[in-house]
């Protein structure tokens, strides 16, 4: 991530065993449309290197920051190096400078596959419910066979088996 320093401030925080320093960095995220953000960087742990590099940074200075997720799911600034303003070579940072955000929406194919999985899951539930009435033991093959018949009915596939749904009325369904 490429950042440009706006301001930094160091504060000493007391603890029961002594104290530590906390650096608040206000910066422009040049990797994401120049958005102004802030980050608190501690003088210990995974952020110690970033604290050392940024504690003497001047306003306007640019840095390449390597961001990694820690075990708790928070972003740590593990490596901070001065930059000449150009994007870092590929592989040095997790995000390229000025990279456009990637869409997280499902594609039509992914939506169709998800819908099939939802129908299969509900068909299995319906089959278990149907077969468990008065039955002492369920066989997984019977559940799967009946679930497949329900699924075929939902998707309008003619079931060739003798216990198919030929006697149920067909519904006109518009597929979008």
pLDDT band at 50; cut points 50, 70, 90: confident
Which pair of tokens denotes residue 149?
Answer: 């018949």
User: pLDDT > 70: what percent of the chain?
Assistant: 80
pLDDT band at 160; cut points 50, 70, 90: low
Q: State residue 89's pLDDT score.
A: 46
User: What is the chain's percent helix, strand, coil content, to nearest 5?
Assistant: 30, 30, 45
- Determine the average pLDDT of the residues in 133-142: 77
Question: Please, which contacts does 20-28 make with residues 24 or more away whose CB atoms are closer than 8 Å?
Answer: 20/44, 21/51, 21/55, 23/51, 23/54, 23/55, 25/54, 25/57, 27/3, 28/3, 28/4
* pLDDT tens profile 66-116: 888 888 888 888 888 888 755 544 444 444 445 567 778 888 998 998 898
User: Helix (H, G, I), strand (E, B), or coil: what is residue 37?
Assistant: strand
> What's the predicted TM-score (pTM) here?
0.44
Q: State residue 140's pLDDT score.
A: 83
User: Helix (H, G, I), strand (E, B), or coil: what is residue 127?
Assistant: helix
Lowest mean pLDDT among 6-20, 30-44, 154-168: 154-168
Edge-to-edge strand order for the sheet containing 75-82? 35-42, 18-29, 2-15, 62-69, 75-82
Q: State residue 175's pLDDT score.
A: 53
CA-CA distance, 173 to 156, in Å (whole number)?
Answer: 9
CA-CA distance, 79 to 77, in Å (whole number)?
Answer: 6
Mean pLDDT for all residues in the chain: 78
Question: How many C-alpha atoms does 88 have within 13 Å on its Cβ side?
Answer: 22
């Amino acid at each position: 991530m490429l950042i440009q320093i706006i301001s930094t401030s160091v504060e000493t925080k007391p603890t029961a065993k002594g104290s530590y320093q906390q650096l608040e960095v206000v910066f422009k995220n040049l990797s994401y449309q120049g958005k102004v953000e802030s980050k608190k960087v501690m003088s210990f742990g995974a952020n110690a290197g970033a604290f050392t590099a940024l504690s003497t940074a001047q306003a306007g200075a640019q840095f390449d920051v390597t961001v990694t997720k820690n075990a708790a799911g928070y972003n740590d600034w593990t490596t901070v190096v001065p930059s000449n303003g150009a994007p870092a070579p590929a592989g040095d940072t997790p995000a390229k400078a000025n990279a456009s955000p990637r869409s997280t929406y499902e594609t039509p194919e992914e939506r169709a596959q998800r819908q099939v999985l939802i129908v299969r899951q509900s068909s299995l539930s319906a089959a278990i419910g149907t077969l468990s009435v008065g039955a002492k033991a369920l066989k997984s093959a019977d559940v799967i066979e009946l679930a497949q018949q329900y699924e075929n009915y939902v998707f309008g596939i003619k079931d060739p088996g003798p216990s198919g749904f030929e006697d149920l009325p067909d519904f006109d369904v518009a597929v979008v």
